[in-house]
Protein backbone atom coordinates (compact mmCIF):
# COMPACT_ATOMS: atom_id res chain seq x y z
CA UNK A 1 0.00 0.00 0.00
CA UNK A 2 1.20 3.44 -0.86
CA UNK A 3 1.84 5.96 1.88
CA UNK A 4 -0.65 8.52 3.07
CA UNK A 5 -1.59 11.29 0.71
CA UNK A 6 -1.33 14.90 1.78
CA UNK A 7 -4.57 16.58 2.81
CA UNK A 8 -4.80 18.42 -0.52
CA UNK A 9 -4.28 15.25 -2.55
CA UNK A 10 -6.78 13.45 -0.37
CA UNK A 11 -9.47 15.99 -1.10
CA UNK A 12 -8.92 15.99 -4.85
CA UNK A 13 -8.94 12.19 -4.91
CA UNK A 14 -11.98 12.00 -2.64
CA UNK A 15 -13.85 14.49 -4.82
CA UNK A 16 -13.07 12.46 -7.93
CA UNK A 17 -14.06 9.23 -6.15
CA UNK A 18 -17.45 10.62 -5.12
CA UNK A 19 -17.90 12.09 -8.56
CA UNK A 20 -17.08 8.75 -10.19
CA UNK A 21 -19.74 6.93 -8.17
CA UNK A 22 -22.16 9.74 -8.86
CA UNK A 23 -21.58 9.52 -12.61
CA UNK A 24 -21.91 5.75 -12.57
CA UNK A 25 -25.38 6.13 -11.07
CA UNK A 26 -24.78 3.64 -8.26
CA UNK A 27 -22.05 2.70 -5.84
CA UNK A 28 -20.73 3.60 -2.42
CA UNK A 29 -18.06 5.69 -0.81
CA UNK A 30 -16.78 4.72 2.62
CA UNK A 31 -14.95 7.29 4.70
CA UNK A 32 -13.39 6.30 7.99
CA UNK A 33 -11.67 8.33 10.66
CA UNK A 34 -9.77 7.05 13.66
CA UNK A 35 -6.94 7.96 15.95
CA UNK A 36 -3.53 7.34 14.45
CA UNK A 37 -1.77 5.36 17.14
CA UNK A 38 1.10 4.09 15.03
CA UNK A 39 4.11 6.17 14.10
CA UNK A 40 5.92 4.97 11.00
CA UNK A 41 9.09 6.78 12.03
CA UNK A 42 9.36 5.24 15.45
CA UNK A 43 10.50 1.65 15.86
CA UNK A 44 7.81 0.99 18.46
CA UNK A 45 4.26 2.34 18.56
CA UNK A 46 4.25 5.80 20.09
CA UNK A 47 1.34 5.08 22.36
CA UNK A 48 2.71 1.82 23.65
CA UNK A 49 0.64 0.30 26.36
CA UNK A 50 1.73 1.51 29.73
CA UNK A 51 2.20 -1.34 32.11
CA UNK A 52 -0.43 -1.82 34.81
CA UNK A 53 -2.69 0.88 33.37
CA UNK A 54 -5.62 -0.49 31.41
CA UNK A 55 -6.73 3.06 30.62
CA UNK A 56 -3.42 4.12 29.17
CA UNK A 57 -5.06 5.60 26.08
CA UNK A 58 -7.41 7.95 27.90
CA UNK A 59 -4.84 10.55 28.79
CA UNK A 60 -2.03 10.59 26.22
CA UNK A 61 0.73 13.13 26.89
CA UNK A 62 0.32 14.78 23.48
CA UNK A 63 -2.60 15.20 21.11
CA UNK A 64 -2.53 12.48 18.49
CA UNK A 65 -3.11 12.86 14.75
CA UNK A 66 -6.13 11.39 12.99
CA UNK A 67 -6.09 8.88 10.18
CA UNK A 68 -8.77 9.46 7.56
CA UNK A 69 -9.41 6.87 4.89
CA UNK A 70 -11.75 6.65 1.93
CA UNK A 71 -12.55 3.68 -0.30
CA UNK A 72 -15.13 2.64 -2.85
CA UNK A 73 -15.73 -0.61 -0.99
CA UNK A 74 -14.70 -2.74 -3.97
CA UNK A 75 -12.56 -5.18 -2.05
CA UNK A 76 -13.89 -8.21 -3.91
CA UNK A 77 -14.81 -9.03 -7.49
CA UNK A 78 -17.84 -11.10 -8.31
CA UNK A 79 -15.63 -14.20 -8.43
CA UNK A 80 -14.45 -13.60 -4.86
CA UNK A 81 -10.97 -12.53 -5.83
CA UNK A 82 -9.26 -9.39 -4.73
CA UNK A 83 -10.37 -6.45 -6.78
CA UNK A 84 -7.54 -4.85 -8.71
CA UNK A 85 -9.20 -1.51 -9.20
CA UNK A 86 -10.13 -0.81 -5.61
CA UNK A 87 -9.81 2.87 -4.83
CA UNK A 88 -8.18 3.38 -1.48
CA UNK A 89 -6.94 6.73 -0.24
CA UNK A 90 -5.79 7.85 3.16
CA UNK A 91 -4.36 10.90 4.84
CA UNK A 92 -3.12 11.97 8.24
CA UNK A 93 -4.63 15.02 9.91
CA UNK A 94 -2.52 16.76 12.51
CA UNK A 95 -4.36 17.85 15.67
CA UNK A 96 -4.02 21.56 14.92
CA UNK A 97 -5.40 21.09 11.41
CA UNK A 98 -8.57 19.29 12.40
CA UNK A 99 -10.90 22.25 12.09
CA UNK A 100 -9.69 23.42 8.71
CA UNK A 101 -9.63 19.82 7.47
CA UNK A 102 -13.23 19.13 8.44
CA UNK A 103 -14.40 22.44 7.01
CA UNK A 104 -12.99 21.41 3.63
CA UNK A 105 -14.20 17.85 4.15
CA UNK A 106 -17.73 19.14 4.58
CA UNK A 107 -17.44 21.24 1.44
CA UNK A 108 -16.20 18.30 -0.62
CA UNK A 109 -18.98 16.06 0.66
CA UNK A 110 -21.68 18.67 0.17
CA UNK A 111 -20.49 19.31 -3.37
CA UNK A 112 -20.16 15.64 -4.26
CA UNK A 113 -23.20 13.99 -2.72
CA UNK A 114 -25.81 15.10 -5.20
CA UNK A 115 -28.15 12.13 -4.96
CA UNK A 116 -29.38 12.95 -1.50
CA UNK A 117 -32.75 14.64 -1.11
CA UNK A 118 -32.53 18.32 -1.73
CA UNK A 119 -34.18 20.84 0.48
CA UNK A 120 -36.38 22.68 -2.03
CA UNK A 121 -37.48 19.67 -3.98
CA UNK A 122 -40.94 19.13 -2.53
CA UNK A 123 -43.99 21.01 -3.73
CA UNK A 124 -45.41 21.10 -0.24
CA UNK A 125 -43.06 23.84 0.84
CA UNK A 126 -44.04 25.98 -2.12
CA UNK A 127 -47.67 25.57 -1.11
CA UNK A 128 -46.81 26.62 2.41
CA UNK A 129 -45.09 29.73 1.13
CA UNK A 130 -48.18 30.63 -0.82
CA UNK A 131 -50.35 30.10 2.22
CA UNK A 132 -47.97 31.94 4.49
CA UNK A 133 -49.00 35.53 3.70
CA UNK A 134 -52.67 34.63 3.90
CA UNK A 135 -52.37 33.00 7.32
CA UNK A 136 -49.62 34.89 9.08
CA UNK A 137 -50.63 33.83 12.58
CA UNK A 138 -50.16 30.18 11.84
CA UNK A 139 -46.69 30.69 10.46
CA UNK A 140 -45.58 32.43 13.61
CA UNK A 141 -46.80 29.52 15.65
CA UNK A 142 -45.08 27.06 13.36
CA UNK B 1 -26.41 -2.62 15.37
CA UNK B 2 -28.56 0.28 16.37
CA UNK B 3 -29.94 3.11 14.32
CA UNK B 4 -30.35 6.16 16.48
CA UNK B 5 -33.32 8.43 15.92
CA UNK B 6 -31.64 11.80 15.70
CA UNK B 7 -28.23 13.03 14.69
CA UNK B 8 -27.86 14.78 18.06
CA UNK B 9 -28.40 11.49 19.84
CA UNK B 10 -25.84 9.80 17.61
CA UNK B 11 -23.39 12.62 18.20
CA UNK B 12 -23.84 12.41 21.96
CA UNK B 13 -23.45 8.64 22.23
CA UNK B 14 -20.52 8.62 19.83
CA UNK B 15 -18.79 11.27 21.92
CA UNK B 16 -19.25 9.13 25.03
CA UNK B 17 -17.92 6.06 23.24
CA UNK B 18 -14.91 7.97 21.96
CA UNK B 19 -14.17 9.30 25.42
CA UNK B 20 -14.19 5.77 26.75
CA UNK B 21 -12.30 4.16 23.84
CA UNK B 22 -10.41 6.88 22.01
CA UNK B 23 -7.86 4.58 20.42
CA UNK B 24 -9.99 1.73 19.14
CA UNK B 25 -13.27 3.39 18.20
CA UNK B 26 -13.64 4.51 14.61
CA UNK B 27 -16.24 6.42 12.66
CA UNK B 28 -17.22 5.31 9.18
CA UNK B 29 -19.32 7.45 6.88
CA UNK B 30 -20.95 5.57 4.04
CA UNK B 31 -22.46 7.34 1.08
CA UNK B 32 -24.44 4.88 -0.98
CA UNK B 33 -26.27 5.27 -4.25
CA UNK B 34 -28.23 2.06 -4.79
CA UNK B 35 -28.10 0.28 -8.11
CA UNK B 36 -31.72 0.22 -9.21
CA UNK B 37 -30.98 -2.37 -11.88
CA UNK B 38 -30.13 -5.06 -9.35
CA UNK B 39 -32.68 -7.83 -8.71
CA UNK B 40 -33.33 -6.45 -5.24
CA UNK B 41 -34.94 -3.32 -6.61
CA UNK B 42 -36.50 -5.01 -9.64
CA UNK B 43 -38.49 -7.24 -7.34
CA UNK B 44 -39.92 -4.28 -5.51
CA UNK B 45 -41.08 -2.79 -8.78
CA UNK B 46 -42.73 -6.00 -9.95
CA UNK B 47 -44.68 -6.33 -6.76
CA UNK B 48 -46.03 -2.86 -7.19
CA UNK B 49 -46.93 -3.58 -10.79
CA UNK B 50 -49.04 -6.55 -9.76
CA UNK B 51 -51.02 -4.65 -7.20
CA UNK B 52 -51.12 -0.97 -7.98
CA UNK B 53 -50.17 -0.07 -11.50
CA UNK B 54 -51.16 3.56 -11.33
CA UNK B 55 -49.38 4.36 -8.11
CA UNK B 56 -46.24 2.65 -9.29
CA UNK B 57 -45.52 5.38 -11.81
CA UNK B 58 -45.91 8.03 -9.18
CA UNK B 59 -43.85 6.34 -6.50
CA UNK B 60 -41.07 4.61 -8.44
CA UNK B 61 -38.10 6.97 -8.54
CA UNK B 62 -36.21 6.96 -11.81
CA UNK B 63 -33.23 8.58 -10.21
CA UNK B 64 -31.82 6.42 -7.43
CA UNK B 65 -31.98 8.14 -4.08
CA UNK B 66 -28.81 7.93 -2.12
CA UNK B 67 -28.36 7.87 1.60
CA UNK B 68 -25.68 8.52 4.14
CA UNK B 69 -24.95 6.26 7.10
CA UNK B 70 -22.72 7.30 9.95
CA UNK B 71 -21.35 4.47 12.03
CA UNK B 72 -19.29 4.53 15.17
CA UNK B 73 -17.75 1.17 15.91
CA UNK B 74 -15.51 0.04 18.70
CA UNK B 75 -14.05 -3.42 18.03
CA UNK B 76 -12.92 -3.85 21.63
CA UNK B 77 -16.36 -3.62 23.22
CA UNK B 78 -18.36 -4.36 20.08
CA UNK B 79 -20.51 -1.25 20.34
CA UNK B 80 -22.04 -0.01 17.09
CA UNK B 81 -23.91 3.27 16.82
CA UNK B 82 -25.51 4.19 13.53
CA UNK B 83 -27.39 7.11 12.09
CA UNK B 84 -28.97 7.18 8.66
CA UNK B 85 -30.16 10.14 6.64
CA UNK B 86 -31.12 10.91 3.05
CA UNK B 87 -31.23 14.68 3.30
CA UNK B 88 -28.57 16.80 1.65
CA UNK B 89 -29.17 19.50 4.26
CA UNK B 90 -27.73 17.23 6.97
CA UNK B 91 -24.35 16.68 5.33
CA UNK B 92 -22.62 19.87 6.42
CA UNK B 93 -23.85 19.61 9.98
CA UNK B 94 -22.88 15.94 10.25
CA UNK B 95 -19.37 16.45 8.90
CA UNK B 96 -18.86 19.30 11.34
CA UNK B 97 -19.99 16.85 13.99
CA UNK B 98 -17.32 14.44 12.76
CA UNK B 99 -14.81 17.23 13.28
CA UNK B 100 -15.95 17.69 16.85
CA UNK B 101 -15.69 13.95 17.45
CA UNK B 102 -12.28 14.05 15.82
CA UNK B 103 -11.14 16.27 18.65
CA UNK B 104 -11.98 13.49 21.08
CA UNK B 105 -9.92 11.08 18.99
CA UNK B 106 -6.99 13.46 18.87
CA UNK B 107 -7.21 13.91 22.66
CA UNK B 108 -7.74 17.64 22.29
CA UNK B 109 -9.90 19.62 24.70
CA UNK B 110 -13.54 19.41 23.70
CA UNK B 111 -14.32 22.98 22.74
CA UNK B 112 -12.30 25.90 21.58
CA UNK B 113 -15.38 28.07 21.35
CA UNK B 114 -15.52 28.89 25.05
CA UNK B 115 -12.32 30.99 25.23
CA UNK B 116 -13.22 32.73 21.98
CA UNK B 117 -16.44 34.07 23.46
CA UNK B 118 -14.90 35.26 26.71
CA UNK B 119 -11.57 36.64 25.61
CA UNK B 120 -11.46 39.31 28.28
CA UNK B 121 -12.66 36.99 30.98
CA UNK B 122 -10.27 34.26 30.03
CA UNK B 123 -7.23 36.38 30.90
CA UNK B 124 -7.69 36.14 34.66
CA UNK B 125 -9.07 32.66 34.16
CA UNK B 126 -5.95 31.58 32.31
CA UNK B 127 -3.86 32.50 35.34
CA UNK B 128 -6.02 30.30 37.45
CA UNK B 129 -6.14 27.60 34.87
CA UNK B 130 -2.59 26.24 35.30
CA UNK B 131 -3.03 26.09 39.04
CA UNK B 132 -6.39 24.46 38.67
CA UNK B 133 -5.22 22.19 35.88
CA UNK B 134 -2.21 20.92 37.78
CA UNK B 135 -4.06 19.01 40.51
CA UNK B 136 -6.78 17.92 38.12
CA UNK B 137 -4.96 15.09 36.35
CA UNK B 138 -4.10 13.51 39.68
CA UNK B 139 -7.68 13.77 40.80
CA UNK B 140 -9.04 12.61 37.51
CA UNK B 141 -6.71 9.67 37.10
CA UNK B 142 -8.43 7.51 39.73
CA UNK B 143 -11.81 9.10 39.05
CA UNK B 144 -11.71 8.29 35.35
CA UNK B 145 -11.18 4.64 36.11
CA UNK B 146 -14.62 4.48 37.66
CA UNK B 147 -16.20 6.91 35.26
CA UNK B 148 -14.95 5.20 32.14
CA UNK B 149 -15.82 1.79 33.44
CA UNK B 150 -19.33 3.03 34.02
CA UNK B 151 -19.45 4.59 30.60
CA UNK B 152 -18.32 1.39 28.97
CA UNK B 153 -20.88 -0.70 30.76
CA UNK B 154 -23.49 2.01 30.34
CA UNK B 155 -22.91 2.09 26.59
CA UNK B 156 -23.24 -1.64 26.41
CA UNK B 157 -26.39 -1.51 28.48
CA UNK B 158 -27.90 1.15 26.27
CA UNK B 159 -27.16 -0.89 23.21
CA UNK B 160 -28.86 -3.95 24.59
CA UNK B 161 -31.90 -1.98 25.61
CA UNK B 162 -32.29 -0.51 22.17
CA UNK B 163 -31.81 -3.89 20.58
CA UNK B 164 -34.64 -5.21 22.67
CA UNK B 165 -36.95 -2.46 21.47
CA UNK B 166 -36.32 -3.21 17.85
CATH number at residue A96: 3.30.720.10
Contact A59 B140 (CB under 8 A): yes
For residue B141, pLDDT beyond 70: no
Q: Which residues of A touch B105 (CB under 8 A)?
A: 33-35, 64, 66
d(CA B24, CA A127): 49
Output the pLDDT for position A127.
Answer: 60
Q: Which residues of B touch A65 (CB under 8 A)?
A: 106
- A2 occurs within a structural domain: no
Please choose, from the candidates A73, A21, A96, A65, the residue with its C-alpha nearest in 3D space to the C-alpha of residue B35: A21
Output the pLDDT for position B50.
Answer: 53
Contact predicate A113/B91, CB 8 Å: yes
For residue B106, pLDDT beyond 70: yes
For residue B97, pLDDT beyond 60: yes
**Number of structural domains in chain A:** 1
Contact A113 B68 (CB under 8 A): yes
The CB density around residue B95, as the number of other CB atoms within 10 Å, is: 22
Output the pLDDT for position B157.
Answer: 42
For residue B150, pLDDT beyond 80: no
ipTM, 2 decimals? 0.73
- B124 occurs within a structural domain: no
d(CA B27, CA A80): 27
For residue B63, pLDDT beyond 70: no
* Pick from B34, B106, B107: CB nearest A26: B34
The verdict on A117 touching B (C-beta cutoff 8 Å) is yes
d(CA B132, CA A38): 32
Output the pLDDT for position A10.
Answer: 95
Complete DSSP assignment for A46-109: TTPPPTT-TTGGGS-SS---EEEEEE-S--B-TTSSB-TT--EEEEEE-GGGHHHHHHHHHHHH
Distance from CA of B81 to the nearest CA of A (A): 14
The verdict on A32 touching B (C-beta cutoff 8 Å) is yes
Domain membership of residue B84 as a residue range: 2-32+66-112+136-148
* Pick from A18, A25, A106: CB nearest B64: A25
Contact predicate B83/B70, CB 8 Å: yes
The verdict on A18 touching B (C-beta cutoff 8 Å) is yes
pLDDT band at B123 (very low <50, low <70, confident <90, very high): very low
Contact predicate B95/A105, CB 8 Å: yes
Contact B35 A26 (CB under 8 A): yes
Distance from CA of A36 to the nearest CA of B (A): 8
- B79 occurs within a structural domain: yes
Q: Which residues lie closer than 8 Å to A94 by C-beta, 6 or more apart? A: A65
How high is the mean pLDDT of chain B? Answer: 70
Per-residue pLDDT of chain A (142 residues; tens, 9 = 90+): 458 899 999 999 999 999 999 998 889 999 999 998 776 555 444 445 554 556 666 777 788 899 999 999 887 767 777 777 888 999 999 999 999 999 999 999 999 998 888 876 556 655 655 555 554 444 444 4
Higher pLDDT, B88 or B108: B88
**Number of structural domains in chain B:** 1
Please choose, from the candidates A64, A103, A135, the residue with its C-alpha nearest in 3D space to the C-alpha of residue B24: A64
The alpha carbon torsion through B136, B138, B144, B146 (nearest 10 deg) reads -130
For residue B90, pLDDT beyond 70: yes
Supply the CATH number for residue B10's domain. Answer: 3.30.720.10
Domain membership of residue A17 as a residue range: 7-141
Give pLDDT tens digits for B40-54: 777 665 555 555 544
CA-based Rg of chain B, rounded to a whole angstrom? 22
The alpha carbon torsion through B143, B146, B150, B153 (nearest 10 deg) reads 140
- B73 occurs within a structural domain: yes
Contact predicate A67/A34, CB 8 Å: yes
- B78 occurs within a structural domain: yes
For residue B131, pLDDT beyond 60: no
Top mean pLDDT of A10-24, A109-123, B56-70, B124-138 is at A10-24
d(CA A14, CA A72): 10
A7-11, B34-38, B64-68, B131-135: least confident range: B131-135
Please choose, from the candidates A34, A128, A37, A117, the residue with its C-alpha nearest in 3D space to the C-alpha of residue B61: A117
Mean pLDDT for B116-120 is: 42
d(CA B111, CA A137): 39
Output the pLDDT for position B49.
Answer: 52
Top mean pLDDT of A48-52, B146-150, B155-159 is at A48-52
Q: Which residues of B touch A22 (CB under 8 A)?
A: 33
Contact B87 A117 (CB under 8 A): yes
Distance from CA of B151 to the nearest CA of A (A): 13
Angle between helices B135-165 and B119-133 (to 10 degrees): 100
Query: How do strand B2-3 and strand B79-85 relate by DSSP bridges?
Result: parallel
Amino acid sequence: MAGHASNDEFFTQLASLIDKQQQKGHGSVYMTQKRLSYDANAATPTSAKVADDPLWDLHPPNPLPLLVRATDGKSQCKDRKKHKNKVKISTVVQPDEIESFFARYADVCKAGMQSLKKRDRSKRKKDKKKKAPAAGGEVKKA
Amino acid sequence: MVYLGTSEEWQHHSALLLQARPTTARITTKYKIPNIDTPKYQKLKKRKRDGETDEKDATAPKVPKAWLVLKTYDPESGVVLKFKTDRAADVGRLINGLGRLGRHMAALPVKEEAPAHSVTQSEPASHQAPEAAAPRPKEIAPATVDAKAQQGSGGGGGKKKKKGKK
